[in-house]
């Protein structure tokens, strides 16, 4: 019996130690990694189909190699493989962890980069950068990947980057929405962000009319159809005469056109619209708490503001909720960029008002500084707020002919970032639909400029010439147009690194400006009656204040505080205590020093009295929510060393 027990224990121990080598029963197998099926299945209950043919795009890297290159887009699994590899290569400066779980149950990974020997990440000023919120806007994720590699490979080589990692914390989330990114990269499908079923067309059905890859090439192109005589009063497209080859289509008012244009697919629900209610439809970038509004159709009066894709309620989605909760539990973060594609633009708050109407002048001045810095680094055509600069970047609405006017976005990340969180928060847009130049000098970067650049510089790979096709319900049509994934929404592979890099360098430049409280001097001056004056001098060596004015208003950042702590045995006994802190006279003996501005030097003094002892050791603490945490030993008088020491 004894022998049996020992053998059983040994066997149990062996299985326990080697358990990581076994495949778990009932383990989740995600469609992107399942080699036994040609279909990709999306979770959720919907009225339309949930499975689509898997497709490998030639612009995408599906396996992690020995070398990281940026001549193609990386899947979520490939990115995660590199992050795991870096975590193993740089354990002294890297932590990799699952920060959240997506709607479908995938892990959302995040990396912290900081020198662990110089302190915890939460004791340091911090920046946060993320990409991949919108399913198809994958260039943003690539910029995070590029920045991560750049930081890690240059630590110990580049003086500025080494100092940054020694003194600051950088939080990096490459894939905010792995469900959507995987669907986008492994099928022909496209969707806005979360794959949670959603009634986009408000007909009571969920996801009932997705796109179909009718010709089986793995890409959802456009369909154009010449209107019949009895349809001309509804036709709303003409051939754009700026392109002599007749490839571009121009939208006009119904009854002014000769053509119809659809996305590739069929009208599954018979409502006369094509593919208007595909997979998902919620917008994670309209789901933030600040200035949230209900989704279209949810305003009971029919007269209020609504926001398409807002979600059931603020932070209803785990992906956006995890971002907000990370911020609120990490108030040491001063700089954020949560990126998308495409415009391109350095995009910032406000999203519902003009900058001058709601922003503190000193805060706006800082934002305008980073607008300028961004344009100098990236050469984007625009930088500014969402409400006015973005919405009126072209003076005329070319469809209606009306002047462009400011327009709000609700539940938007940049507004949460400034008005709620009190930080520098951008939601930058990368890539430009190939419109590299204003070729016809009309002041607008549009499809004509894109197709011209494609012809001149991209060998025409970004546009598929129109080809006849026998549509199952429409009859004779033509299929063609811009490549929706790797020209319109993201660039061709050979353009990727340039865009990822310049955006990453702007983010890095902002991180270099984080506030930083540094201790300049501690002076202990002996006075009469065993009293000592301890004067502390510190400086904010960063380019940002420890708190924007908005951060002070919403109480996300505490005042800088100074503490001088002694062993409890020395301070107990009230008037008989061996150490009495006379100044400050407040009960908690903490000096509130206000908010240290960029470049500002401050000082504060304690008055301490010793009673019956020659000296004492104290711990000086400088606590700044966004400027960092400093702890130093201070010796007062001539303390007697204990015999144990």
Listing DSSP states for 47-86 in one string gives SS--EEE----TTEE-S--SS--SSSEE-HHHHHHHHHHH
Tokens encoding 78: 């490939």
pLDDT of 15: 36
What is the C-alpha separation between 335 and 543, in angstroms, rounded? 12
pTM of the model: 0.94
- Give the residue from 153, 169, 196, 181 showing the smallest Cα distance to 77: 181
Task: For 475, list phi and psi in degrees, rounded to 5.
Answer: 85, -135
Q: What is the pLDDT of residues 540-574, one digit of tens each?
A: 999 999 999 999 999 999 999 999 999 999 999 99
Tokens encoding 115: 């020198």
**250-258 mean pLDDT:** 97
- Give the residue from 561, 601, 624 showing the smallest Cα distance to 126: 624
Confidence of residue 5 (pLDDT cuts 50, 70, 90): very low
Burial (CB < 10 A; 0-12, 13-18, 19+), residue 522, is middle
pLDDT of 1: 45
| pLDDT above 70 for 231 | yes
> Distance of CA 106 to CAs 176, 212, 546, Å?
11, 26, 36
| pLDDT above 50 for 12 | no
| pLDDT above 70 for 328 | yes
Instruction: For 399-414, give the DSSP string.
Output: TT-PBP-----SS-HH
Q: What is the pLDDT of residues 428-450, one digit of tens each?
A: 999 999 999 999 999 999 999 99
Side-chain half-sphere CA neighbours of 314 within 13 A: 13
- Give the residue from 284, 91, 60 showing the smallest Cα distance to 194: 284
| pLDDT above 70 for 608 | yes
| pLDDT above 90 for 495 | yes
Confidence of residue 642 (pLDDT cuts 50, 70, 90): low
What is the C-alpha separation between 379 and 428, in angstroms, rounded? 13
% pLDDT > 90, the chain? 93
pLDDT of 36: 82
% pLDDT > 70, the chain? 95
| pLDDT above 60 for 17 | no
**103-126 mean pLDDT:** 98
Confidence of residue 27 (pLDDT cuts 50, 70, 90): low
Confidence of residue 21 (pLDDT cuts 50, 70, 90): very low
In this structure, are residues 127 and 512 in contact, taking their beta carbons and an 8 Å threshold?
A: no
Task: For 569, list phi and psi in degrees, rounded to 5.
Answer: -65, -25
Q: Running DSSP on this structure, what letter comes out for residue 558?
A: P
| pLDDT above 50 for 4 | no
- Give the residue from 97, 104, 136 showing the smallest Cα distance to 31: 104
**509-522 mean pLDDT:** 98
Residues 6+ apart with CB under 8 A from 594: 559, 560, 602
What is the C-alpha separation between 133 and 285, in angstroms, rounded? 7
Q: What is the pLDDT of residues 329-348, one digit of tens each?
A: 999 999 999 999 999 999 99
553 in helix, strand or coil? Answer: helix
End-to-end CA distance of the chain: 54
What is the C-alpha separation between 543 and 641, in angstroms, rounded? 43
- Give the residue from 610, 560, 430 showing the smallest Cα distance to 502: 430
Confidence of residue 641 (pLDDT cuts 50, 70, 90): confident
pLDDT of 398: 87
Please give the domain boundaries of the chain with CATH numbers for all domains: 52-197+281-431+490-514 (3.40.630.10), 198-278+461-485 (no CATH), 517-637 (2.60.40.10)
**239-243 mean pLDDT:** 97
| pLDDT above 80 for 595 | yes
Q: Where are the alpha helices (DSSP H) in 18-47?
A: none
In this structure, are residues 363 and 418 in contact, taking their beta carbons and an 8 Å threshold?
A: yes
The mean pLDDT value of the chain amounts to 94
Q: Is 14 left (phi over 0), alpha (psi -120 to 50) or beta?
A: alpha
Q: Running DSSP on this structure, what letter comes out for residue 123?
A: G
**137-162 mean pLDDT:** 98
**374-391 mean pLDDT:** 98
Tokens encoding 297: 């159709």
Q: What is the pLDDT of residues 304-325, one digit of tens each?
A: 999 999 999 999 999 999 999 9
pLDDT of 600: 98
**485-493 mean pLDDT:** 98
| pLDDT above 80 for 16 | no
| pLDDT above 60 for 19 | no
| pLDDT above 50 for 18 | no
Q: What is the pLDDT of residues 176-219, one digit of tens each?
A: 999 999 999 999 999 999 999 999 999 999 999 999 999 999 99
| pLDDT above 70 for 149 | yes
pLDDT of 346: 98
């Amino acid at each position: 019996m004894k022998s049996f027990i020992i053998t059983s224990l040994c066997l149990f121990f062996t299985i326990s130690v080697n358990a990581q080598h076994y495949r778990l029963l009932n383990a989740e197998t995600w469609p992107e990694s399942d080699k036994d099926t040609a279909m990709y299945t999306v979770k959720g209950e919907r009225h339309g189909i949930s499975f689509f043919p898997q497709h490998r795009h030639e612009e995408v890297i599906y396996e992690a190699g020995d070398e990281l290159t940026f001549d193609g887009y990386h899947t979520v699994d490939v990115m995660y493989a590199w992050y795991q590899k870096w975590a193993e290569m740089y354990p002294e400066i890297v932590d990799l962890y699952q920060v959240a779980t997506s709607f479908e149950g995938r892990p959302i990974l995040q990396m912290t980069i900081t020198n662990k020997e110089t302190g915890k990440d939460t004791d340091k000023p911090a920046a946060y950068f993320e990409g991949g919120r919108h399913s198809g806007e994958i260039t943003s994720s690539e910029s995070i990947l590029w920045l991560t590699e750049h930081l890690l490979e240059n630590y110990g080589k580049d003086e500025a980057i080494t100092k940054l990692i020694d003194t600051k914390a950088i939080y990096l989330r490459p894939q905010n929405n792995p469900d959507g990114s995987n669907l986008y990269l492994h099928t022909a499908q496209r969707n806005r962000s979360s794959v949670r079923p959603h009634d986009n067309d408000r007909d009571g059905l969920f996801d009932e009319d997705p796109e179909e890859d009718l010709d089986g090439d793995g890409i959802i192109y456009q369909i154009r159809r010449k209107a019949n005589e009895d349809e001309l009063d509804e036709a709303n497209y003409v051939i754009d005469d700026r392109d002599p080859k007749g490839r571009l289509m121009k939208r006009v008012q119904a009854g002014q056109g000769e053509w119809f244009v659809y996305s590739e697919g069929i009208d599954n629900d018979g409502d006369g619209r094509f593919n208007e209610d595909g997979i998902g439809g919620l917008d994670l970038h309209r789901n933030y708490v600040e200035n949230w509004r209900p989704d279209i159709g949810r305003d009971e009066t029919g007269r209020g503001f609504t926001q398409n894709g807002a979600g059931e309620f603020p932070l209803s989605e785990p992906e956006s909720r995890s971002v907000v909760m990370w911020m609120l539990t990490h108030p040491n973060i001063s700089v954020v960029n949560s990126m998308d594609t495409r415009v391109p633009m350095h995009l910032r708050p406000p999203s519902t008002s003009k900058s001058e109407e709601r922003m503190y002048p000193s805060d706006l001045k800082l934002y305008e500084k980073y607008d300028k810095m961004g344009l100098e680094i990236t050469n984007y055509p625009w930088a500014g707020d969402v409400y006015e600069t973005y919405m009126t970047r072209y003076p005329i609405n070319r469809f209606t002919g009306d002047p462009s006017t400011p327009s709000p976005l609700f539940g938007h990340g940049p507004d949460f970032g400034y008005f709620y969180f009190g930080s520098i928060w951008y939601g930058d847009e990368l890539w430009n639909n190939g419109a590299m130049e204003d070729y016809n000098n009309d002041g607008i970067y549009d499809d004509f400029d894109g197709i011209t650049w494609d012809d001149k510089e991209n060998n025409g790979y970004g546009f598929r010439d129109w080809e006849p096709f026998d549509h199952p319900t429409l009859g004779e049509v033509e299929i063609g147009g811009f490549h929706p994934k790797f020209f319109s929404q993201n660039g061709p592979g050979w353009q990727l690194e340039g865009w990822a890099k310049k955006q990453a360098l702007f983010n890095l430049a902002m991180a270099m400006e984080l506030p930083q409280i540094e201790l300049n001097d501690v002076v202990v001056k002996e006075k009469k009656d065993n009293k000592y004056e301890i004067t502390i001098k510190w400086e904010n060596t960063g380019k940002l204040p420890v708190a924007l004015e908005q951060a002070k208003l919403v109480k996300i950042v505490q005042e800088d505080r100074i503490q001088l702590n002694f062993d409890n045995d020395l301070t107990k006994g009230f008037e008989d205590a061996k150490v009495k802190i006379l100044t400050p006279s407040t009960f908690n003996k903490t000096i509130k020093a206000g908010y240290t501005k960029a470049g500002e030097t401050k000082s504060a003094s304690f008055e301490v009295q010793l009673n019956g002892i020659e000296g004492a050791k104290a711990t000086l603490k400088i606590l700044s929510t966004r400027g960092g945490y400093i702890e130093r030993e201070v010796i007062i008088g001539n303390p007697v060393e204990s015999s144990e020491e």
